[in-house]
Amino acid sequence: MQVLIKKNKNMKFENLKEGLFVKYEIEQIFANNNIYGKVVFMNENMVRILTYDDFEQFEFNRNEIESMKIKEIYGADLRQYLEMRKEILIELLDEIKTSYDKNVVDINIDLSKLNTCINDLKS
C-alpha cells in the first residue's frame, strides 16, 4: 500500500485567498521565526495579513509574498500555536500581577510608616 505525503510547499501569491490561515517567515527580518496569521484582505497587487503574535495587520505586495516562505496552516497546527501563545500571555500576566501585588504591599508598608510618623507628630 502506498502512502501519499502531502508536501507543504511555499505558496505563490495567486494561491492566497481571504480567510486563509498562514505561517510565514521573512528571512531578512525574522529568520527562523515563524509568524502565524490570517489573510484578511487581498487584491491583485497586495495581501493584508492579521498576525496572531500582536494582532497587527501587515500588508505585503506581490513581490514580497513571492520572496517569503509562506505556507497554509491547518487546524491542529494553528490550535497548537494559539494555545502556546495563550500560555505565554498567561505567564506574562502572572508575572505582572506578582510584580503589581509586591508594589502594592510595598506602598502599603510605606503608607503605614508615614501614618505612624504623622501620628507621632500629633502626640
CATH T-level topology, domain 13-73:
SH3 type barrels. (2.30.30)
Q: What is the pLDDT of residues 64-123, one digit of tens each?
A: 998 888 999 988 999 999 999 999 999 999 999 999 999 999 999 999 999 998 888 887
Q: What is the pTM of this model?
A: 0.69
Domain extents for the chain?
13-73
Does residue 60 surpass a pLDDT of 90?
A: yes
- 41 membership: H or E segment, kind and range: strand 35-42
Q: What is the pLDDT of residues 6-45, one digit of tens each?
A: 445 788 899 999 999 999 987 655 555 788 999 999 999 9
